[in-house]
Amino acid sequence: MPTCRSRNKGQKTSTLRRRRAASSPAQREASEEERDIGGAENRQTALRPAASDTAASAIDGSSGDPTGPSPTKRKRATQDEGDRTEDSDASSPPLCLSDSAKRRMRRKRAELAQHPVNFSPVHKFSANVSLKLAEPHVVKVDILAEDLPFSKGAYVGLCRETGSKLQTLEEWIAKGFVVLKWDGMTPTVITEKKDRLLAALPGRPFNAVKWPDIIRRVQLAMERANAALRLPAGNRRGRYRSVAVGVSFGNGSKHPGMLSQEEWNRLVLEELMTDPDVQLVASFASSCFALYAPKLFTEYRATLGQLYAEYTMLRQIFPNSVFPAVSFNFGPEACTVLHVDNSNRAIGWCSILALGDFDPTQGGHIVLEELRLVIEFPPGSTILIPSALCRHGNTPIQEGETRMVMTQYAAGGLFRYVDYGYHTKKELRELDPERFEGIEAKQESRWVEQMSLFSTVDHLHADRIACDLIK
């Protein structure tokens, strides 16, 4: 039997050699050249050169990402690519990187990994702007922040049931929810019984005449990316395609890492995230976070700055945004069922930018269940909510309308990892039992202590000054 296998192998090799010899030298040269540059030509028609190493490396899942798939799973995913084609855009050009191109990419990523991120998102406001925004329109709800559900340790939210279907505006009104009419421009905050800010509706920049044009270009950039990405047709939260990029930690990981992407999607997302308009709206959302939650923003910047300094392979997703991760919900009907982002920082806020072409008075509202609010959410506007504490979702848009969403957020596990001295809970228990016991003893009081990170309306301007956000 071994002799037969060896003979068959030799026969196959001889056959391949005869076929190759039969082809002309010109044909062989053309074939080799096509393999080397075919993929590059395809990419040049769909992508512009990358404008930022920050975003490029932020999308790269090869920098020690513990949250990405293992080599075995990646191999299996490649073998099953045909099964995914039905859920993907058939017009996506094939990706064919030459070995030399792959080597250049690996060298570039290795060079980037040697340099720590200069993580210093800068948001400075004039005193006049701060005073003008120190008295936003206030909507008060009958709830205490301390009573919102959170998990033990107060780092992440509490895992709760996800809704099964979208509910209409009429259904929410019938349940006694209050409809908050908002034009998408008037600065508005939602406060609780002790006047602490639970959510903010900043809308859009003051006197931003060009803002509609910026939003239109961001929408076009997302539409181009959606047409090129290889993604499933829907997800458990709605009938829309979605992808997440950035730094994350959880699901049994030993340390934080970059969310993994397949090679073609990585290139498409690199094009999207280096778009100047996309970076601009991301920076605006981060500045709104600093404006309405200055103490919380300052803690994000300090803690994540320590993390980036310790793990140089981690990359900032946008040049001037404090958020470490972003999700793009491409639509065409990006309306989510009621859910909670329990992996996000419990006390943290996430920014949400609505895009598309829909009537915000008829659909696309954002629902905040614990606050019993249904808020009109016009396209082109930004809001910030405690997505790990409040179950939230949308009302459906009307037939023929479109809606997309860009969301920035931070995983609660990142903050726990830094507090535990760059160790997981299990590692710290084994390495330093005394420190571990000290941290565990503060679990009950940590949530109440973190309430001080919420600003009140009366102290909003003073908090901005104390956090060095006024120039």
- Residue 4, in any domain of the structure: no
As given in the structure block, the two tokens for residue 197 are: 């800010």
- Residue 342, in any domain of the structure: yes
- What is the Rg, in whole angstroms, of the alpha carbon atoms belonging to the chain? 25
Least confident of 235-244, 324-333, 354-363, 427-436: 235-244
Q: What CATH number has the domain bearing residue 176?
A: 3.60.130.30
> Residue 409's pLDDT band (boundaries 50, 70, 90)?
very high
- Residue 433, in any domain of the structure: no
Least confident of 9-13, 159-163, 280-284: 9-13
Q: What is the pLDDT of residues 341-395, one digit of tens each?
A: 989 999 999 999 999 999 999 999 999 999 999 999 999 999 999 999 999 999 9
Q: What is the pLDDT of residues 312-321, one digit of tens each?
A: 889 899 989 9
Q: What is the pLDDT of residues 43-62, one digit of tens each?
A: 333 333 334 455 555 665 54
Per the DSSP assignment, residues forming a β-bridge with 238 are: 235
Reduced to 3 states (helix: H, G, I; strand: E, B; else coil), residue 132 is helix
Indicate whether this model's pTM tops 0.75.
Answer: yes
Q: What is the pLDDT of residues 184-208, one digit of tens each?
A: 999 999 999 999 999 999 999 977 7
3-state SS string for 28-41: HHHHHHHHHHHHHH
Contacts of 153 (CB under 8 A, 6+ apart): 416, 443, 446
Burial (CB count <10 Å: 0-12, 13-18, 19+), residue 105: middle
| CA terminus-to-terminus distance, the chain | 82
Residue 40 has pLDDT above 60, yes or no: no
Residue 135 has pLDDT above 60, yes or no: yes
More confident residue, 437 or 91: 437
As given in the structure block, the two tokens for residue 92 are: 């996506």
- Residue 253, in any domain of the structure: yes
Residue 236: the pLDDT is 75
Whole-number average pLDDT of the chain: 79
- Residue 317, in any domain of the structure: yes
Look at phi and psi of residue 424 and say left if phi exceeds 0, alpha if psi is from -120 to 50, else beta. Answer: beta
DSSP code of residue 411: B
Total number of domains in the chain:
1
Average pLDDT over residues 432-459: 88
More confident residue, 56 or 248: 248
Q: What percent of the chain has pLDDT over 70?
A: 73
> Residue 13's pLDDT band (boundaries 50, 70, 90)?
very low
Residue 114: the pLDDT is 55
Taking alpha carbons only, the member of 390, 387, 405 closest to residue 348 is 387
Residue 464 has pLDDT above 60, yes or no: yes
Q: What torsion, rounded to 10 degrees, do the Cα atoms 20, 25, 26, 31 define? A: 40
Rounded Cα gap, residues 94 and 114, in angstroms: 32
Q: Which domain holds residue 381?
A: 127-420+449-453
